[in-house]
Amino acid sequence: MTRFRRTPFSRQVHVCFALVCILSLLLSGCAAAQPGAAPAADDESIELTWLDVCAPITTPITDALVEKFEATHPNVKVTIECSQGDYAEGIFAKAAAGNLPDVMFSADLFTVPFVENGVLVNLEALSEAEGANTFEDIYPNILGLGQVVGTPGTYMIPASW
C-alpha cells in the first residue's frame, strides 16, 4: 500500500476548495425536480458525484478536499467516481447523454475544448452569485489556466500548484 504524504494546504487551495464547494452545491440544484417533489430541507441528505482520474498524483488532493468538504457539510455525501479510458472522450459522452457529474477533475489542456463544447460553467458567475471573493487570493497566471481567450470567465481552477 502506498502512503501519500499530506502537506498543509495554502490559503489558495482552501479558496479553490471553497469554489469547488460552491460549484457543487449550485450544480446539485440544477437537476430537474421530480413531479411532486418538495424542496430539500437544510438537514436533508444530499449526494454529489465527483469524477476524478484517480491517479496517484490527484487522489490525495481529491481525498483531502472531499474530507474537508464533508466535515463542514455533514448532510452532504460526496461519491468519487474514477474515470475509465480516454478522459476527454468520457466527459463528452457524459455531456451528450446529459449525465455530467456535479464536480469533475479538469486539467488546463481540457479547458478550451470543454468550454467550447459547453461542458464547464463560468465559475466567476457562480462566485458572484454567492457573493464570494473566490478569485481574490489566486495568482492571475494560475487563473489563466482556466480561462479561454475570447470567452469571458474562469472555468477551471487548479486544486494544487
Question: Which residues are 151's β-sheet partners?
Answer: 148
Interatomic CA distance for residues 99 and 84, integer angstroms: 15
Res. 43: pLDDT tops 50: yes
pLDDT at res. 2: 34
pLDDT at res. 40: 53
In this structure, which CATH number among 3.40.1350.10, 3.40.190.10, 1.10.8.60, 2.40.110.10 belongs to the domain 12-24+45-146? 3.40.190.10
The mean pLDDT value for 105-131 works out to 91
Residue type, 113: P
Res. 58: pLDDT tops 70: yes
The mean pLDDT value for 91-102 works out to 95
Give domain limits for the chain. 12-24+45-146
129: its cell numbers = 452569485
160: its cell numbers = 494544487
Nearest to 75 by CA among 116, 9, 25, 113: 25
pLDDT at res. 38: 44
CB 50 within 8 Å of CB 62: yes
Nearest to 100 by CA among 45, 34, 23, 37: 23
